[in-house]
């Protein structure tokens, strides 16, 4: 067998195939297009506030000051919107999906940093032309003599610093826990800048605009407080999760079994994830995302964790009885997205985790392909083979380096007949996922038929 070999578990007889039903639709899930429409409508409302408060723009100073006011308003609007994207609101998580929300958040964050930078430059420049000062002198005057500007300056510096550590190059060099703690500075930056917007923002001096601004910011604070703090605390009190077992699965990989009370009331679905906060030394202050690696059970939840950093490495040493605070379930990488009868589940590394749960529960004609460099890196081999036999499905292992496997699309076409007519659930490292998306589209799989879960958030 070559290093790019494919191992296959043959489908069992059709009479052995269990019948599966899709999970019932949740009360409400916000469609991604509707979410973007709401964000765009809010931005148009902000522009309307500026338009109403700007009777005329005259001269270079007027144009610069006007540009500063527009970018300042849009940056002020973007701040709570970006916080809401990551507030873990259940309807948004169900409909949009956590990884897509993270991408929107990252994209919007870059634009907000750019708008803040333009706002500062154009406002100071426009005021300097009006007052007949240089840029430095005007900047000192604005910071130290305008109301609330010292706090706004500190908030701006914190925001710019957060943008730097969130940049792709810096993000790759930081542990998740370090990046997470540094990212919390965003909340302080937004709070520091809020009073400045009302004190010196000519467009928010009163009336409906000011009322809308208060509603946006205080509404965001209330939702964050409920869904990020109070609700997880109440769920912890209700379900009392704790570590029941830590089971080795492979090199640097363990499965974590959590027991608790009334777990069926969580409403978790295969393909979703929780943010787990272990009440153990060194772990209690960070809540990291981990996917379910088996369908949720009324008495336990199973997660499979790979050693990817300090937090995940320490999970392997947890003792039974360790208390766990869980936030979730989150994510839209579930059977609710399924529209086709033929389904390909394609995963690599720990990305096989949610796919293993979906492989056991999705209806239809299923094929699972696990990408790995070495046979010892394959996870759940015995479990996947047993599920494939029981369900009449197929499971393959695509082994070897990129050079040994060759073109991924061609390799998948050999393993999966009529690939273009399959719906695909894809999960794995970002580089692998990007290569797979390109290969699948080239093979004729429609873009809307590729469901992608990323670990980059």
Model pLDDT, residue 17: 40
Nearest to 148 by CA among 210, 188, 190, 193: 193
Tokens of 49: 């506030």
CA R_g for the chain: 25
Model pLDDT, residue 223: 95
Tokens of 296: 């949720």
Q: What is the pTM of this model?
A: 0.75
pLDDT digit of tens for each residue in the chain (457 aa)?
344 444 444 444 333 344 444 444 545 778 889 999 999 999 999 998 888 877 777 788 888 988 888 999 999 999 999 999 988 888 888 888 888 888 899 899 899 999 999 999 998 999 898 888 888 888 888 888 887 888 888 888 888 888 777 776 666 666 666 777 777 788 888 888 888 887 766 667 667 888 889 999 999 999 999 998 898 889 889 999 999 999 988 778 899 999 999 998 888 999 999 989 898 887 777 778 899 999 999 999 999 988 766 666 788 888 999 999 998 888 888 888 888 899 999 999 888 999 999 999 999 999 999 999 888 889 999 999 999 999 999 999 999 888 888 888 889 989 998 899 999 999 988 888 889 999 999 989 988 899 987 655 4
For residues 457 and 455, what is the distance between their CA atoms, to the nearest angstrom?
A: 6
Model pLDDT, residue 215: 93
394, 421 Cβ separation under 8 angstroms: no
Decide: residue 348, CB within 10 A, 0-12 exposed, 13-18 middle, 19+ buried.
Answer: buried
Model pLDDT, residue 404: 86
Per residue in 366-414, pLDDT (tens digit) is 999 999 988 888 999 999 999 999 999 999 999 988 888 888 888 998 9
Q: What does the DSSP assignment read for 301-338? A: EEEEEE--SHHHHHHTTPPTT-BEEEEEEE-S-SGGG-
Model pLDDT, residue 217: 94
267, 296 Cβ separation under 8 angstroms: no
Helices (H), 146-286: 149-166, 168-173, 176-183, 185-200, 207-224, 231-239
Per residue in 202-237, pLDDT (tens digit) is 667 667 888 889 999 999 999 999 998 898 889 889
392, 298 Cβ separation under 8 angstroms: no
| SS3 state at 289 | strand
Helices (H), 59-167: 59-85, 90-96, 98-131, 135-145, 149-166
Model pLDDT, residue 361: 94
């Amino acid at each position: 067998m070559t290093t790019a070999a494919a191992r296959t578990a043959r489908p069992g007889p059709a009479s052995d195939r269990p019948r599966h039903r899709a999970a019932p639709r949740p009360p409400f899930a916000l469609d991604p297009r509707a979410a973007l429409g709401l964000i765009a409508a809010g931005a148009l409302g902000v522009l309307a506030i500026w338009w109403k408060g700007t009777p005329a723009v005259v001269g270079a100073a007027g144009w610069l000051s006007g540009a500063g006011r527009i970018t300042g308003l849009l940056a002020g609007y973007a701040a709570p919107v970006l916080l809401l994207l990551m507030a873990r609101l259940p309807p948004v998580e169900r409909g949009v999906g956590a990884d897509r929300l993270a991408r929107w958040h990252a994209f919007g964050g870059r634009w907000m940093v750019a708008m803040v930078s333009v706002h500062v430059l154009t406002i100071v420049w426009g005021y300097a032309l009006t007052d007949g000062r240089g840029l430095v002198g005007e900047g000192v005057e604005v910071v130290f003599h305008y109301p609330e500007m010292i706090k706004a300056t500190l908030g701006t510096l914190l925001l710019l610093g957060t943008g730097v550590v969130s940049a792709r190059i810096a993000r790759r060099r930081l542990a998740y826990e370090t990046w997470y703690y540094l990212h919390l500075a965003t909340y302080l930056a937004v709070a520091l800048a809020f009073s400045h917007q009302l004190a010196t923002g000519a467009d928010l001096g009163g009336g409906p605009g000011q009322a809308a601004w208060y509603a946006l910011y205080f509404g965001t604070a209330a939702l964050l407080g409920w869904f990020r703090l109070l609700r997880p605390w109440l769920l912890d009190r209700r379900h009392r999760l704790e570590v029941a077992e830590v089971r080795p699965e492979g090199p640097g990989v363990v499965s974590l079994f959590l027991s608790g009370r009334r777990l069926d009331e969580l409403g978790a679905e295969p393909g979703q994830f929780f943010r787990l906060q272990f009440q153990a030394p060194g772990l209690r202050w960070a809540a990291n995302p981990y996917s379910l690696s088996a369908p949720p059970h009324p008495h336990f939840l199973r997660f499979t964790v790979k050693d990817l950093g300090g937090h995940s490495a320490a999970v392997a040493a947890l003792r039974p009885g360790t208390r766990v605070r869980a936030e979730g379930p989150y994510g839209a990488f579930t059977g609710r997205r399924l529209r086709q009868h033929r389904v390909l589940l394609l995963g690599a590394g720990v990305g096989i985790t949610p796919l293993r749960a979906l492989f056991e529960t999705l209806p239809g004609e299923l094929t699972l392909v696990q990408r790995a460099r070495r046979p010892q890196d394959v996870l759940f081999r015995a479990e996947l083979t047993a599920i494939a036999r029981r369900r009449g499905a197929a499971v393959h292992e695509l082994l070897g380096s990129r050079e040994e496997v060759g073109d991924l699309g061609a390799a998948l076409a050999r393993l999966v007949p009529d690939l273009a007519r399959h719906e695909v659930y894809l999960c794995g490292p970002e580089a692998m996922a990007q290569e797979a998306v390109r290969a699948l589209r080239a093979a004729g799989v429609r873009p809307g038929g590729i469901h992608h879960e990323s670990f980059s958030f």
